[in-house]
Amino acid sequence: MRGQTRREAGPVALLSEILRGTASLSGAACVGSAELFDPRDPHEDAIGGYRRHFAAAQVCRRCPVIDACREWADGDRKQAQSVTAGRVPKPPGRPRRSEKGGSAA
Ligand code: SF4
């Protein structure tokens, strides 16, 4: 409506709202090396992806906030394809019958 001013929260307030409830991972050892932890790219070979994730898990081993990270990751299933709290995703394998479109007989 005319004459009304719309008040929007600034970016700090927005980020604060988004991060509410997120564990504090200040001092995380992975800062600056996200590419090691990211999910495997579909075009990345399995051995290369495994080596990259193994290197990421080594970073986690010396991370001062691994316990808080693990607690956070346990509540977020989306982390299953990334290295989180030293956990390496399962390597790709044969598709399950249900993934191939077949029926379980
Ligand atoms: S445990 Fe690993 S993934 Fe979690 S904050 Fe530390 S370095 Fe990052």
Q: Answer yes or no: is 37 within a domain.
A: yes
State in Å: Cα 63 to ligand 1 middle: 6
Structure confidence at residue 63 (pLDDT):
98
Strand, coil or helix: 83: coil
Structure confidence at residue 101 (pLDDT):
54
**Is residue 82 within 8 Å of 35, Cβ to Cβ?**
no
Q: Answer yes or no: is 6 within a domain.
A: no
CA atoms within 13 A on the CB side of 95: 7
Specify the ligand 1 atom closest to the Cα of 65: 6
Q: Answer yes or no: is 100 within a domain.
A: no
Structure confidence at residue 105 (pLDDT):
39
State in Å: Cα 77 to ligand 1 middle: 16
* Pocket lining: 84 vs ligand 1, CB cutoff 6 Å: yes
Residue numbers of the domain that contains 61: 25-90
Which pair of tokens denotes residue 97?
Answer: 């019958």
Structure confidence at residue 103 (pLDDT):
46
State in Å: Cα 87 to ligand 1 middle: 10
Structure confidence at residue 104 (pLDDT):
43
Alpha carbon distance 29, 22 (integer Å): 17
Alpha carbon distance 58, 19 (integer Å): 27
Structure confidence at residue 36 (pLDDT):
97
What are the pLDDT tens digits along the chain (105 aa)?
565 666 777 888 888 887 777 778 999 999 999 999 999 998 999 899 999 999 999 999 999 999 999 998 887 777 778 999 999 988 767 776 776 554 443
With tokens 């970073």, the residue in question is: 59
Q: Answer yes or no: is 38 within a domain.
A: yes
* Pocket lining: 57 vs ligand 1, CB cutoff 6 Å: no
Structure confidence at residue 64 (pLDDT):
97
